[in-house]
Amino acid sequence: MKKILILSILFLSSLPIPLFADSTLPFGGRILGSPIYCTCSVGHLVRVGPPRAGIYHYIPGKTTLYQFNNVYSSGTWLLGNYTPGTGTQCRIHTGHHCHTIPNDGVMSIVGTSS
């Protein structure tokens, strides 16, 4: 029993430890169009144009918002980080059902130009 415990500890201690638990990626560009509000969940989706385009989920209280607090107006420049692989959290009510709107991920931090 001691042998198994010691071998287990040695094995677990040899596994690599990630340097960053939060694997975020950068995004940035102008807001294209109006926000898409998540009526069955929290927040809204923002479609961002180049140079780092995509559709990102803004969640009040979860996303840290810097400078002018404007993640709603078309034409505003955004710059921030998002967590990829979390793009199933925005749900929209259509008729009697809620449907998931695919997106690139949840914004972790974002600053705006105006």
Strand partners, 52: 28
pLDDT at 3: 52
CATH code for the domain of 68: 2.40.50
pLDDT digits (tens, 9 = 90+) for 50-99: 999 999 999 999 999 998 899 999 999 999 999 998 878 899 999 899 99
Q: Write a three-state SS string for 23-60.
A: CCEEEEEEECCCCEECCCCCCEEEEEEEEECEEEEECE
For the chain, give the percent of residues with pLDDT over 90.
70
Question: Residue 3 domain-assigned?
Answer: no
Q: What is the pLDDT of residue 9?
A: 42
Flag whether 107 is in a domain: yes
Whether 2 is in a domain gets the answer: no
Mean pLDDT, the chain, whole residue set: 85
For residue 6, being part of any structural domain is answered with: no
Tally the domains of the chain.
1
Q: How far is CA 103 from the centre of its chain?
A: 9
14 pLDDT band, cuts 50/70/90, is very low
- Residues of the domain holding 66: 24-112
